[in-house]
């Protein structure tokens, strides 16, 4: 099954995709830059599932507390909860695609896929592989209008993408195009790669 990280890795560098997903070599990565995001995602999941998180909230540092408060007060985060850390997959053509949604919520008009970002949102959010894969998968499961929301916690903004018939067709074509390229690839190296965790084994 192809998930967003796999396709993003391939688009970043086919050789890296080969090392990581074909050879299955795990390169060590520094965890510090991801700590805040991990904490906020875990907290959000417990909170949405109705757990008592007061003890966890007390151990957040001031920066984490302010990011968490932004998320807790976000208009989309406060819509009706359906599920969180939610695995979805579907088949397009002969290929399985899927991933784990941060949260799925709804109101009387539509369903919303939420993705919280403590760092930057994608440069081209409408055609980011994560946006496309999540919307296509949710579209197979739910008979409802669908919207993807990037909750940009760095800038306290929401970025909204509504799934239309035109977008659905474009997303299907685009994802199939990338997967077909992966399947036919001989995994060439990227030319400029100063900061790659696979440099030593590449
Ligand atoms: S070192 Fe460069 S070519 Fe090798 S996997 Fe990393 S990004 Fe790709």
Q: Check: CATH 3.90.320.10 for 35-175? A: yes
Residue 193 pLDDT: 78
pLDDT exceeds cutoff 80 at 15: yes
For 153-202, the pLDDT digits (tens) are 999 999 999 999 999 999 999 999 999 999 999 999 986 677 888 988 98
> With a 6 A CB cut-off, is 27 part of the ligand 1 pocket?
no
pTM of the model: 0.94
Ligand 1 atom 4, closest CA: 202
The average pLDDT across 143-153 equals 97
Q: What is the pLDDT of residues 20-37, one digit of tens each?
A: 999 999 998 876 768 899
Closest to 139 measured CA to CA, from 107, 167, 109, 173:
167
pLDDT reported for residue 175:
98
Task: Decide: 190 in ligand 1 pocket, CB within 6 A.
Answer: yes
Closest C-alpha among 16, 61, 15 to residue 39: 61
- Tokens found for residue 110: 């539509």
Over residues 83-136, the pLDDT tens digits come to: 999 999 999 999 999 999 999 999 999 999 999 999 999 999 999 999 999 999
Identify the pLDDT of residue 194. Answer: 79
- 49 pLDDT higher than 90: yes
Report CA(161)–ligand 1 centroid distance (Å).
32
Can you tell me the distance from the alpha carbon of 103 to that of 44, in angstroms, rounded to the nearest whole number?
9
Which has the higher per-residue pLDDT, 13 or 31?
A: 13
Helices (H), the chain: 4-12, 14-17, 32-48, 54-58, 62-72, 129-141, 165-184
Q: How is residue 127 annotated by DSSP?
A: G
The whole-angstrom separation of Cα 135 and Cα 175 is 12
Please give the distance, rounded to the nearest whole angstrom, from the Cα atom of residue 27 to the centre of ligand 1. 12
pLDDT of residue 192: 67
């Amino acid at each position: 099954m192809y998930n967003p990280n796999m396709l993003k890795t391939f688009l970043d560098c086919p050789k890296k995709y080969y090392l990581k997903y074909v050879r299955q070599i795990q390169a060590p990565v520094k965890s510090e830059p991801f700590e805040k995001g991990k904490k906020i995602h875990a907290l959000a999941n417990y909170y949405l599932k109705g757990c008592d998180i007061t003890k966890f909230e007390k151990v957040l540092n001031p920066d984490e507390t302010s990011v968490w408060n932004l998320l807790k007060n976000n208009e989309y985060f406060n819509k009706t909860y359906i599920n969180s850390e939610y695995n979805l997959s579907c088949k397009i053509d002969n290929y399985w695609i899927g991933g784990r949604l941060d949260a799925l919520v709804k109101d009387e008009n539509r369903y919303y896929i939420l993705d919280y970002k403590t760092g930057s949102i994608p440069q081209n959010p409408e055609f980011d592989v994560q946006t496309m894969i999540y919307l296509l998968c949710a579209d197979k499961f739910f008979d409802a209008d669908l919207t993807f929301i990037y909750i940009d916690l760095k800038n306290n903004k929401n970025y909204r993408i509504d799934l239309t018939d035109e977008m659905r067709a474009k997303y299907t074509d685009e994802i199939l195009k990338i997967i077909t390229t992966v399947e036919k690839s001989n995994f060439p190296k990227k030319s400029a790669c100063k900061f790659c965790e696979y440099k030593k084994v590449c």
